[in-house]
Amino acid sequence: MFKLSEIKELVKLIDQTSVSELEIENEGTRLFIRKPGKTESVVVTHAPTVQPVYTAPTAAAPQPVAAPVQAAAPTAPAETPSDKSTADLHTIKSPMVGTFYKASAPGAAPYVSIGDKVSEKTVVCILEAMKLMNPIDAEIRGEIVDILVEDGQLVEYNQPLFLVKPE
């Protein structure tokens, strides 16, 4: 059986190389990682069954076919107010797959709330992965504008968690 930390490390290594597929079999468990079109796919199988673990888009998402982009270019779409308001915000994203917790314990005060000022070392939440509690830092100085996930929610790798207005 593969450990989640081993799978995450393999996904990172595949992402940093030009390798597009990797298949490993160990003690009857098969791990298959494919990176088609700049998207990572991880599938773990036990003998004949296939179970998808997760699919995580990389920073550079595949672009649509050039024809629709060229057709839209002459008439530039009007910028919506929500686009304008979030353009200058920093997004704190999940560095792993896990369960999001806004406080250190049930009933405890949350680490941060909307309107709180944070610094680079401020803990904003905890992500639980494989029974390990991982504190997540803000990594930027600013003000929490929005919390994008609910307490106890399962989050994906690179999923937006918070919006921060940088100082």
Query: Are residue 53 and residue 113 in the same domain, yes or no?
Result: no
**Per-residue pLDDT tens digits for 43-73:** 555 555 445 555 555 555 444 444 444 444 4
What pLDDT, in 10s, does the model give residues 89-122? Answer: 999 999 999 999 999 998 999 999 999 999 999 9
Residue 88 has pLDDT above 60, yes or no: yes
pLDDT number for residue 47:
52
Return the top range by mean pLDDT from 9-18, 29-38, 104-113: 104-113
Its domain, for residue 43, covers 4-57
Q: What type of residue sits at position 80?
A: T
95 and 156 both lie in a single domain: yes
Instruction: Look up the CATH number of the domain holding residue 128.
Output: 2.40.50.100
Judge if 53 and 95 occupy the same domain. Answer: no
Domain count, the chain: 2
Q: Is residue 120 part of a domain?
A: yes
Question: Residues 53, 118: one domain?
Answer: no
**Would residue 18 count as lying in a domain?**
yes
Is residue 20 one of the residues assigned to a domain?
Answer: yes
Retrieve residue 69's tokens. 């982009």
The top-scoring range by mean pLDDT among 48-52, 78-82, 162-166 is 162-166
**Statement: residue 161 has pLDDT above 50:** yes
The better pLDDT of the pair 47, 167 is held by: 167
User: Does residue 130 lie in a domain region?
Assistant: yes
* 70 part of a folded domain: no
Q: Whole-angstrom Cα distance, residue 126 to residue 128?
A: 6
95, 146: one domain? yes
pTM over 0.75: no
pLDDT at 56: 54
- Would you say residue 74 has pLDDT above 60? no
Whether 107 and 157 map to the same domain: the answer is yes
